Structure 1
Amino acid sequence: MTAVRQDAWSPDDDLILAEVTLRHIREGGTQLSAFEEVGQRIGRTSAACGFRWNSCVRKRYDEAIGMAKQQRQKRNYLKKQGISTLAGGDRLIVEEGEGGKTEMMSAESMSLEAIIRYLRQWKNTVQEMSRQIRQLEKEMKEKDERLTEYREQNERLSKEVNEVQTDYRVVNDDYKALIRIMDRARRLAFLTEEPDEDRARFKMDANGNLERIE
């Protein structure tokens, strides 16, 4: 169990609190875990360490906190790139994908190498995106041309349909007119027919002449 000290904080206590907290920030740990570690080292509770940090010590290390956060971001980025750091952070271990080759490089040069690798990957990504964009533009152009062709064909077919409909109406009107004429002619023929008893009768004589029979 951690002892609870009632005495005032010494400069050494503040220094330990700052060093441990900055290390946890730099390595991606939590401040709570840092306060617990400090409490075990100097015999105070983690709550007391947290209160001391937030109320007093933190204000004196704003610049150091910013640098620690930058180092944490750098560590996370290198970790994503398959790069791990040795203790102390001065040297890096680079794991190559093929052959399992291991190379030792400085943090500064490795950062440059990581940036170059990132830029190359980004260049490949941009080239692939450009290729896809060109392909999409080509397909869009082909579809626009096809759409234009379909529109022209649709207009041509619509025109032909209108012409056929017009011809049909003309033929239909002519047919109706012909039916009316035939019907009228049939009625007229019926009205002008003579009864059988009123019709004149003829017979042919020996000389081939027709003579009327009364």
Structure 2
Amino acid sequence: MTSVRQDAWTKDEDLLLAEVVLRHIREGSTQLKAFDEVGKKLNRTAAACGFRWNSTVRKQYQSAIELAKKQRKEGKRGIRQNTGELEAVSEQGKKTSIRLEDVIEFLQNMKEREHLFEANLENTENNYQEKLLFMENRLKELEKENEKLVKENKELKDEYVSLLTILEKARTLTKTEKEEMEKE
């Protein structure tokens, strides 16, 4: 019996998951069946596929999901537009139609999201650089403060030892004077 994978998901696996789920949505099938199909292909559990879809991948394909639902709805009504429509055969042998305008719109949305993602990534990287510089400067300040406190602590210890030495001498001196007074 082969063991089920539990390693990290790759971009290609996310893409396969998205393609299969969107196809199932277009065809009027359930997402559970899509998760089963992807799970078998990737040697993962259907639950793992469902969790990945709902936690990560679905957010990236909102417009594609809406498009797939729209196509499913149009397919049920029997609406077919001959211009700008591509026909494809699914793995189950079922014919599906995709409008060229919808594909173009989807790709444009993907390109726009990619630019937003790159800009966000750049901003995040800049923020991390700024935080790193701030933390490095703060570290230098704290190291200087630590050096100062260590030096002050050493000085206080030295003064304390000196004070104890003086007190011990005074106590010894007082004791000797007292003993001499008693002898007299």
TM-score (norm 2): 0.49
Q: Which has the higher contact order (CA 8 A, sep 6+)?
A: 2
What TM-score do the two structures reach when normalised by structure 1?
0.43
Relative to total residues, which structure has the larger helix share, 1 or 2?
2
